[in-house]
Amino acid sequence: MINVLFVCLGNICRSPMAEAVFNGLLKEQHLQNQIQCDSAGTSDYHMGETPDKRTMEVVLQNKLALDHKGRQFSADDFEVYNYIIAMDEDNKKNILRLESSATQKSYKVFLMREFEDKAQNLNVPDPYWSGADGFIEVYEILWRSCQNLLDYIKKEHQL
């Protein structure tokens, strides 16, 4: 199984939405037996909480599904996940801070927008303090990025 982890700060807005978008693609392409994904936050602010209401609205409007409870990223995740996808540069820094030279590196850490064609900025904007339109913008970024991420993983694993 190939394991993908999406990571943001709170694990209630961007990374669970990425999980929903990516799962939608896996389902559409019948790849759920080969690839699976989850999400986590670098903070412990919303551990155990369901995703933000505005995230769920966008997910449901786009006929996607999401069943997730907030959890904090930990060094153990390096042992499980093959692709760790950070939503912004701060998240990526906080992930890499937990890396240990002792662990064998069988994972890769990327920024989500490295996979977006013609991204103007490499950070997925944090929509937490914005209105509903901020969540729609995030969805559109994730939709474009996740398709290319999946193509990249398929190519790497000859799927």
Residues that bind ligand 4NP (CB under 6 A): 8-14, 45, 126, 128
Active-site position among 38, 77, 88, 126: 126
The Cα 16–Cα 61 span in angstroms is 15
For the question of residue 13 being annotated catalytic, the response is no
Q: Are 23 and 65 in contact (CB under 8 A)?
A: yes
The Cα 81–Cα 90 span in angstroms is 20
- The first and second tokens of residue 49, run together, are 């909480």
Shortest spacing between CB 106 and ligand 4NP, in angstroms: 26
> Toward ligand 4NP, which CB reaches closer, 34 or 62?
62
Task: Extract the runs of DSSP E, i.e. beta strands, from 14-158.
Answer: 35-41, 83-86, 108-111
For the question of residue 126 being annotated catalytic, the response is yes
Closest residue to ligand 4NP: CB criterion:
10
The Cα 24–Cα 26 span in angstroms is 6
For the question of residue 8 being annotated catalytic, the response is yes
Shortest spacing between CB 9 and ligand 4NP, in angstroms: 3
For the chain, the distance separating the N- and C-terminal CA atoms, rounded to the nearest angstrom, is 12
Shortest spacing between CB 8 and ligand 4NP, in angstroms: 3
φ and ψ at residue 68, rounded to 5 degrees: -145, 145
> Toward ligand 4NP, which CB reaches closer, 31 or 136?
136
Shortest spacing between CB 61 and ligand 4NP, in angstroms: 18
> Toward ligand 4NP, which CB reaches closer, 60 or 159?
60
Active site residues: 8, 14, 126
